[in-house]
Amino acid sequence: MTDQLNLQVNVGKNLLSEKDTELQGMEQMLYLTETEKAVLHQILMNEVAALKEGSEELKLIIREKDRRGELLEIENCNLAKALQLAEDELKTVKSMMDQLNFQVVASKNLMSEKDTELQG
């Protein structure tokens, strides 16, 4: 019976040794996984930093485009004012031409009357 107990104890020790080896292998796998996690974390942090930098560059580009847009709005406003002034000037010139045409017609009528008087 003692031999049988010794055999069972030895079998138990062997099983424990195998399980211990398995656990050590799992611990090693976990360690590698932690290392991989650390590497991946660093890669992600680098990507986040690159994205933040890109985001800042995009913000600068957007600000520049907004500034250009504001300048274009000012320029468009100035052009609209200049166009309005030109239209007003054109109306004034047209009015003056209408007055001149009226005076020409009136002068022609007077000349026609004078011609009629001179002929009569």
Q: How far is the C-alpha of 25 from the C-alpha of 20, rounded, in Å?
A: 9
Residue-number span of the structural domain to which 72 is assigned: 1-120
Structurally, how many domains does the chain consist of? 1
Kindly report whether the global pTM for this prediction surpasses the value 0.75.
no
Q: How far is the C-alpha of 81 from the C-alpha of 86, rounded, in Å?
A: 9
Q: How far is the C-alpha of 78 from the C-alpha of 70, rounded, in Å?
A: 12
Q: How far is the C-alpha of 26 from the C-alpha of 20, rounded, in Å?
A: 10
b/e map 7-44, b = 16+ CB within 10 Å: eeeeeeeeeeeeeeeeeeeeeeeeeeeeeeeeeeeeee
Split at pLDDT 50, 70, 90, the class of 20 is confident
Split at pLDDT 50, 70, 90, the class of 36 is confident
Q: Could you tell me how far CA 4 lies from the centroid of its own chain? A: 81
Radius of gyration of the chain measured on its C-alpha atoms: 50
Instruction: Measure Cα distances from 43 to 36, 46, 48, 56 in Å.
Output: 10, 5, 9, 20
Task: State pLDDT tens for residues 70-87.
Answer: 999 999 999 999 999 999
DSSP alpha helix (H) spans, the chain = 2-119
The token duo for 44 is: 């992600």
